[in-house]
């Protein structure tokens, strides 16, 4: 296999990790905001 | 009387009052000079014999000592106002610009006194090979003035913080770094270079320029630091 | 940011990474031409560091003008992200320096100035930690950021005049400096990274807003929020 291809995998994996984490954080935050909205109205 | 001379008069009053307090207690002066004295003697012990140490190292060490001695005392003018609870009285009677300029003048004079004591001692104990005496004196005066200009407003910030501790040194270093680096470079030029003046002209311009930028910037933000 | 924009950012950066390794030719004239690809990732991080620093100063100024708590939060977030990208730029730069100049740290002016920038950020965070009261903390840290700003400008401007730099100067915008393929990939990566920056900034701001709302609810009705927190 092309060694460059192997080296390419590391940054791609790191980026996938960062992206997944940010996405997960976004979802968590959205649910928190929703709960806050409900708590504010009741 | 016009407004500009108003704050100038206030600044002179603040300056005179601070020196009166300082001469009575001698806290800032004592801290600064003793700190510098101790460090100079300690480096004299450490670098024995001094003739074997390169002049570049000695030039850098001089400014490191001056910077940390300044850190030991330059925040004092503002901290003392908060500690003795006189800051509110000052806030009511004097405009922020007057306070800042007065304190800045105090710190500048303090730095010059510090240099007048420390630098000759340092030159004596560490056998510094000064080539261009008048250039060296100009560099020391301008450099210590620039250090005072850079750190006075930081001292005002530190005086307002709840936990002061080592805060002043941490906050002052990044702001004081440009004049520090330039002063070290110019001091090396004054000590070892053949044509010291030519090498150091740019440095002296940068030091002056730095003061011309940082003092208005400090004045601009000081109002927000000082008023509650 | 909508979910489509997020997905696009993800694909875009993955694509640029693939392009940087598969399409970009090794850069001739470097000690190891293959390793020069890291420049494509290193330079955008460094640019974003300075963008964040400018943002921090701008928001600090804005806070002193308006006294809006949210503006102070933005200034803080800009500093946090600036610190993050400063670390990334330093690490990628160090790796390349080890490969190209034989040592990970050379006290090159750019290296020195980014360390000083990190010191400014560190001092800023220490100051924020040292003041309890919110409005006072906001005021003092904004004032400090505005004091550190001219000092940093001076440092970036004078240091290269005093010490010689290993970094090339004027490569980013001049026509002759950088290979067009490299320039294209570099700015593409910058665009992707900028999108990530904006995303992170807004996420962090939402956290800040949620925290404020939680605090307000806690002070208003302590019992209900306590049970809410347990859930």
Per-residue model confidence as pLDDT tens digits over C42-60:
889 999 998 999 999 999 9
Band (pLDDT 50/70/90 cuts) for residue C230 is very low
Binary contact (C207, A29; C-beta < 8 A):
yes
Q: Rounded to the nearest 10 degrees, what angle do helices B96-126 and B27-46 cross at?
A: 30
Closest CA to B219 of B95, B101, B81, B102: B101
Band (pLDDT 50/70/90 cuts) for residue C222 is low
Band (pLDDT 50/70/90 cuts) for residue A1 is low
Residue range B95-103: mean pLDDT, rounded: 90
**In this predicted structure, what is the pLDDT of residue C2?**
79
| Per-residue model confidence as pLDDT tens digits over B103-129 | 999 999 999 999 999 999 998 888 888
Band (pLDDT 50/70/90 cuts) for residue C64 is very high
Closest CA to C154 of B105, B146, B64, B97: B146
**Number of neighbours of residue B205 by Cβ within 10 angstroms:** 12
pTM, whole model, 2 decimals? Answer: 0.87
Write out the two tokens for C156.
């970036």
Q: Taking 80 as the threshold, does the pLDDT of residue A42 lie above it?
A: no
Q: Taking 50 as the threshold, does the pLDDT of residue C231 lie above it?
A: no
**In this predicted structure, what is the pLDDT of residue B217?**
92
Q: For tokens 């090498």, name the residue.
A: B199
| Per-residue model confidence as pLDDT tens digits over A19-37 | 888 888 888 888 888 888 8
Q: Does C154 touch chain B (CB under 8 A)?
A: yes
Q: Give the angle C193-C198-C200 at the CA atoms, nearest 5°.
A: 90
Taking the domains of chain B in order of start, what are their residue ranges? 3-226
Residue range B25-34: mean pLDDT, rounded: 84
Q: Taking 90 as the threshold, does the pLDDT of residue C179 lie above it?
A: no
CB contacts of A40 in chain C (<8 Å) are: 213, 217
Residue range C28-38: mean pLDDT, rounded: 74
**In this predicted structure, what is the pLDDT of residue B164?**
75
Q: Does A24 touch chain C (CB under 8 A)?
A: no
| Per-residue model confidence as pLDDT tens digits over C127-162 | 998 888 889 999 999 999 999 999 888 887 777 766
Cα separation, C141 vs C127, in Å, equals 7
Binary contact (C126, B218; C-beta < 8 A):
no
* Chain C residue whose CA is closest to B155: C144
Residue range C6-32: mean pLDDT, rounded: 80
CB contacts of C203 in chain A (<8 Å) are: 22, 25-26, 29
Cα separation, B58 vs B70, in Å, equals 18
Which residues of C touch chain A, with CB atoms under 8 Å apart?
6, 9-10, 13-14, 17-18, 20-22, 34, 41, 196, 199-200, 203, 206-207, 210, 213-214, 217, 224-225, 228
**Number of neighbours of residue C199 by Cβ within 10 angstroms:** 19
Residue range C97-114: mean pLDDT, rounded: 81
Sort B99 into a burial class: Cβ within 10 Å, 0-12 / 13-18 / 19+: buried
The alpha carbon of residue C66 and the mean position of all alpha carbons in its chain are separated, in whole angstroms, by 25
* Chain B residue whose CA is closest to C118: B174
């Amino acid at each position: 296999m092309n060694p460059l291809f192997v080296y390419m995998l590391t940054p791609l994996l790191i980026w996938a990790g960062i992206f997944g984490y940010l996405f997960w954080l976004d979802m968590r935050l959205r649910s928190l905001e929703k709960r806050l909205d409900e708590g504010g109205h009741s | 009387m016009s407004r500009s001379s108003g704050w100038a008069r206030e600044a002179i009053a603040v300056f005179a009052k601070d020196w009166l307090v300082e001469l009575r207690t001698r806290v800032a002066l004592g801290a600064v000079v003793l700190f510098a004295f101790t460090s100079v003697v300690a480096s004299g012990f450490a670098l024995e014999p001094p003739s074997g140490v390169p002049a570049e190292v000695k030039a850098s060490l001089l400014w490191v000592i001056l910077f940390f001695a300044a850190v030991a005392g330059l925040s004092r003018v503002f901290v003392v106002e908060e500690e003795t609870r006189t800051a509110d009285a000052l806030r009511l009677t004097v405009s922020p610009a007057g306070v800042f300029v007065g304190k800045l003048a105090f710190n500048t004079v303090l730095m010059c006194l510090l240099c007048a004591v420390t630098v000759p001692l340092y030159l004596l104990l560490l056998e510094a090979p000064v080539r261009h005496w008048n250039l060296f004196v100009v560099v020391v005066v301008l450099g210590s003035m620039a250090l005072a200009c850079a750190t006075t407003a930081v001292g005002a910030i530190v005086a307002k913080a709840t936990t002061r501790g080592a805060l002043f040194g941490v906050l002052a270093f990044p702001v004081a770094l440009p004049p520090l680096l330039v002063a070290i470079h110019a001091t090396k030029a004054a000590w070892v270079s053949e044509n010291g003046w030519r090498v150091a002209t740019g440095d002296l311009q940068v030091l002056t320029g730095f003061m011309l930028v940082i003092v208005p910037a400090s004045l601009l933000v000081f109002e927000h630091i000082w008023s509650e | 940011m909508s979910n489509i924009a997020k997905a696009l950012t993800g694909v875009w950066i993955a694509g640029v990474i693939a392009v940087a390794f598969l399409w970009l030719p090794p850069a001739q004239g470097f000690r190891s031409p293959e390793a020069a690809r890291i420049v494509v990732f290193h330079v955008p991080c460094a640019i974003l560091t300075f963008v964040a620093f400018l943002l921090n100063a701008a928001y600090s100024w804005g806070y002193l003008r308006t006294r809006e708590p949210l503006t102070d939060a933005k200034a803080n977030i800009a500093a946090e992200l600036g610190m993050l990208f400063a670390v990334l730029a330093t690490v990628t730069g160090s790796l390349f320096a080890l490969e190209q100049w034989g040592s990970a740290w050379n006290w090159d002016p750019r290296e020195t100035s980014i360390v000083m920038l990190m010191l400014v950020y560190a001092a800023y965070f220490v100051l924020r930690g040292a003041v309890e009261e919110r409005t006072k903390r906001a005021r003092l840290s904004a004032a400090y950021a505005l004091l550190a700003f001219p000092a940093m400008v001076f440092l970036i401007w004078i240091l290269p005049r005093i010490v010689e730099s290993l970094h090339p100067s004027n490569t980013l915008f001049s026509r002759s400096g950088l290979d067009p393929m490299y320039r294209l990939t570099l700015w593409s990566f910058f665009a992707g990274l900028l999108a990530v920056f904006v995303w992170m900034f807004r996420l962090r701001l939402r956290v800040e807003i949620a925290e404020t709302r939680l605090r307000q609810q806690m002070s208003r009705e302590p019992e209900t929020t306590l049970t809410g927190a347990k859930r």
